């Protein structure tokens, strides 16, 4: 099977911060994984499909407003209508409010902030590829 992947990169804004200290809710990573899964299903099936379940979610490091996050996903197994996927969110730029309100560091090594596995389905009648 040819590897099917998706990668989104975006900046977390103060609008995304949910807790004190400009901390972004961990569920925001899960939301990004949903967008990654949608793109994966479109690439494979020509349809957005449906997210069935997460089998595993691990929150590994905090995300703050001003950080840049890459949300990566790939299809690991293709069933009749099910598609197993794995996801990883990585911090690639870290905000540095301790230096100034607009300071940030581009990280030499990304920090994995969240990992997950999940299953999506594309109904047979919706598959176009």
Is residue 1 scored above 80 in pLDDT? no
Per-residue burial over 43-66, b = 16 or more CB atoms within 10 Å of its CB, e = otherwise: ebbebebebeeeeebeeeeebbbb
For residue 67, the number of C-alpha atoms closer than 13 Å in the C-beta half-sphere is 27
- Asked whether the beta carbons of 83 and 55 are under 8 A apart, the reply is no
Q: Show Cβ contacts of residue 23 under 8 Å, excluding neighbours closer than 6 positions.
A: 17, 62, 63, 64
Is residue 96 scored above 70 in pLDDT? yes
Q: What is the pLDDT of residue 121?
A: 96
Tokens of 35: 């967008």
Q: How many CB atoms lie within 10 A of CB 89?
A: 28
Work out the average pLDDT over 121-126. 89
Instruction: Grade residue 115 by pLDDT with cuts at 50, 70 and 90.
Output: very high
Indicate the average pLDDT of the chain.
95
CATH 3.10.150.10 for domain 5-126: no
């Amino acid at each position: 099977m040819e590897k099917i992947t998706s990668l989104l990169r975006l900046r977390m804004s103060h609008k995304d911060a949910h807790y004190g200290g400009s901390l972004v809710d961990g569920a925001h990573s899960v939301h990004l994984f949903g967008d990654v899964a949608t793109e994966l299903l479109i690439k494979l099936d020509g349809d957005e499909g449906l997210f069935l379940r997460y089998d595993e979610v691990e929150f590994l490091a905090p995300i703050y407003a001003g950080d840049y996050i890459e949300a990566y996903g790939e299809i690991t197994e293709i069933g009749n209508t099910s598609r197993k996927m794995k996801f990883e969110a990585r911090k690639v730029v870290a905000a540095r409010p301790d230096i100034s309100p607009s300071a940030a560091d581009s990280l030499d090594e990304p920090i994995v902030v969240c990992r997950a596995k999940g299953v999506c389905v594309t109904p047979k009648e919706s598959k176009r590829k």
